[in-house]
Amino acid sequence: MRILVTGGAGFIGSNYCRFVLREHPEDEVVNFDKLTYAGNLENLREVEGDGRYSFVRGDICDEKVVEGVMGEVDTVVNFAAETHVDRSIQHAGAFVDTDIKGLYVLLGAARKHDIGRFVHVSTDEVYGSIESGSFKEEDAPSPSSPYAASKAGAELMAKAYERTFGYQILITRGANTYGPYQYPEKVVSLFATNALDDIELPLYGDGMNVRDWLYVDDHCAGIDVVLREGVLGEAYNVGSDQERTNLELTREILKLVGKGEELIKYVKDRPGHDRRYSIDGSKLRALGWQPRVGFEEGMKRTVGWYRENEAWWRRLKDGSYRQYYEEMYANR
């Protein structure tokens, strides 16, 4: 396969590029990325000399450029998105553009070029919050944030392309993902790097919101199984069954960094903050996938990586990041 990986310079996308090149020696990867603040070619240093890997800078909303690159591949995995919930609450425009219009542009070009297998990487956030039990793939979307609404909108566009044009793709809905190369705005990478620097960890609300924690290699493997084995037109949850409250997560990070709980600062809650995410992953498990890295092991590897790769995140936490951090956390 010659796979177009959009958003391949971001967190999960860059891990996925490495995953494919390692696990599938017959495949080639074309990484197509706009290089927003979250895109970083340093994430791909290991593979940039690999003859099966190439990079094209571009915007998935740009029909002309997408049209050109689509003609050179036979498969698509779409990671490209604006992804941070807090940023979507401040300014939703880029989320609507990339997450909805971007998929619309990709679908049009993919249909024209008869792309046989196309995975759109979506999120468990499209379901919204659930008090008890777990969402199944047929449950209706009920997004809370502008980010989640944009991801849900994209999924509906894909469904419309199936019903109107008969063009079928595959969708994955992944849980909260953590691991190496995550931009230090999401809770795990932010708290690990803050703790290493003795900076307060801003815990939203009462710290009792629950997320299901999925190690990035497991997420990549799940997406890959869907790409190769999934039934066209279907959606698949990628869950880990590793639910923790944010307070439990924070304590685990502090323990691994070797810092005390005095670094925790309870701050004003995120507006529309979903209380609990939980998805039923049995449909994907029936295809032979299962998560291999448990919460404690995954957190140990992750905190270890941020400890050993200080230069990577220190460069990101400079410059415009400082302004972002001050604006985001100033009045909390």
User: If binding is defined by CB under 6 A, does position 150 make contact with ligand NAD?
Assistant: no
Q: With beta carbons less than 8 A apart as the criterion, state whether 48 and 55 touch.
A: yes
Site for ligand DAU in 236-255 (CB under 6 A): 246
Query: Coil, strand or helix: which one is 81?
Result: coil
* Piece of the chain touching ligand DAU by CB under 6 A; list 65-73, 201-209, 218-226, 306-314: 201-209
Q: Which is nearer to ligand DAU, 167 or 183 (CB)?
A: 183
217 is known as an active-site residue: no
Q: Which is nearer to ligand NAD, 194 or 237 (CB)?
A: 237
Among 4, 20, 47, 60, binds ligand NAD (CB under 6 A): 60
User: If binding is defined by CB under 6 A, does position 98 make contact with ligand DAU?
Assistant: no
User: If binding is defined by CB under 6 A, does position 82 make contact with ligand DAU?
Assistant: no
Q: Measured between alpha carbons, how far is residue 236 from residues 121, 137, 155 in Å?
A: 10, 6, 12
Measured between alpha carbons, how far is 329 from 7 in angstroms, rounded to an integer?
27
Which does residue 75 bind out of ligand NAD, ligand DAU, none, counting CB within 5 to 8 angstroms by kind?
Answer: none
* Piece of the chain touching ligand DAU by CB under 6 A; list 28-36, 110-118, 204-212, 291-299: 204-212
Measured between alpha carbons, how far is 243 from 277 in angstroms, rounded to an integer?
8
Among 17, 81, 170, 188, binds ligand NAD (CB under 6 A): 81
Query: Coil, strand or helix: which one is 59?
Result: coil
In angstroms, give the least distance from the CB of 36 to ligand DAU: 14
- Which residues are within 8 A (CB) of 9 and not within 5 positions of it... i.e. 6 or more apart? 31, 33, 35, 39, 40, 41, 43, 44, 55
Measured between alpha carbons, how far is 112 from 66 in angstroms, rounded to an integer?
11
Quick one: DSSP state of residue 288?
A: T
Among 277, 295, 306, 312, binds ligand DAU (CB under 6 A): 277
Q: Comparing C-alpha atoms, which of 113, 104, 120 is closest to residue 226? A: 120
User: If binding is defined by CB under 6 A, does position 10 make contact with ligand NAD?
Assistant: yes
Measured between alpha carbons, how far is 236 from 328 in angstroms, rounded to an integer?
33
Q: What's the token pair of residue 168? A: 């079928």
124 is known as an active-site residue: yes
Q: Measured between alpha carbons, how far is residue 204 from residues 86, 92, 332 in Å?
A: 11, 21, 9
In angstroms, give the least distance from the CB of 228 to ligand DAU: 23
Catalytic residue set = 124-125, 147
Q: Which residues lie near ligand NAD (CB under 6 A)?
A: 6-7, 9-13, 33-36, 38-39, 59-61, 79-83, 98, 102, 121, 123, 151, 174, 176-177, 183
Binding site for ligand DAU (CB under 6 A): 83-85, 123-125, 175-176, 186-187, 190, 202-204, 209, 211, 246, 270, 277
